[in-house]
Chain A
Amino acid sequence: MIGYSDDAKVMDLLAPLRRLEPLTFVGSQRAERRQRRLVFVAAVLLVGLVLTGVAIADGVGAFDGIGAAQHPQTAADVLDPQIVARLQQSCPDNQFWTPPCHLVLDSARLIGQVPSGGKLYAVADTRGDLCIVDPTGMICGTGLTRSRPIEDESVGELMFGVALDGVTAISFEHAGEEVTVPVKDNVWIYEGVSLPEAGALTAHFDDGTTVTLSP
């Protein structure tokens, strides 16, 4: 059981971080040199972006290893207007850095549904990262790889996520018992446990190997 005392324990554990010495401010000359370097890098990146812009809009890179999202966008993949409205609301002008502001909405692919009927979408962001947009929120990560083959999310006692091609099941321990959740079309959903209760998740591949993830 996790309670207030655990908050205090973590605060105590992390208290030594207050000893980190403050930083010195970078001088203006160095800043100007960086600025010139950044302009050059930005120019190179711009050329790259022009060449790869269409690929990002199609979710290429972000959707690598997610077979369920590897198809041309259809009408069913287009984000529900309510979700678009919510995402736009989450990106006010002065919060330009927040994840909803970086979503490439046109890249959405419908990948599953939670038991309440709400839809799960895979969406690329402007950095080519993978975001999962669900009925109440969203989560972004750097895309799925063999060493990090799942992205997980939880709302109340509903856990769900996306898994790399070849992952057949997700397992975790709950109340001393191992729970195994099958993966269907890259999506896994389990109702009855929240992520903190589930602890570490293990992905099971079709070749018999497993990968256990830190949260």
Chain B
Amino acid sequence: MVDQERLQAAFGKIHDRMIKADGSPVLPDWTRQIVFHFPDLQQYWLLEVVNGQPQSLTALEEAPETEVQITMSSDTFVKLMEKTLSGFVAMTRGLVKVKASMGDMRRMQVFM
């Protein structure tokens, strides 16, 4: 379990990876709501992406219905964002549950 400071720092990396140095989005046509569920923290976080621009990050009491849902421990999330754990390894070890389309899986490789 990680503290909120590290969790938010990890979320910050999503923003960094989705925006190029010139301020334009890496995925300009991608609009999605993504729910991150951290069972160890008993927290849901909703990330809204509009035309490739990360918008609000909102803590929720319950999981909303979204097209992309990711469930993992907060520790796994931080390791993924810090690139000390690969997405492939996380999936094959059962550390992450993902519900998404193939297209969204591909796009999420930009930031995870």
Partners in one complex: no
| Chain A residues at the B interface, C-beta cutoff of 8 Å | none
| Chain B residues at the A interface, C-beta cutoff of 8 Å | none
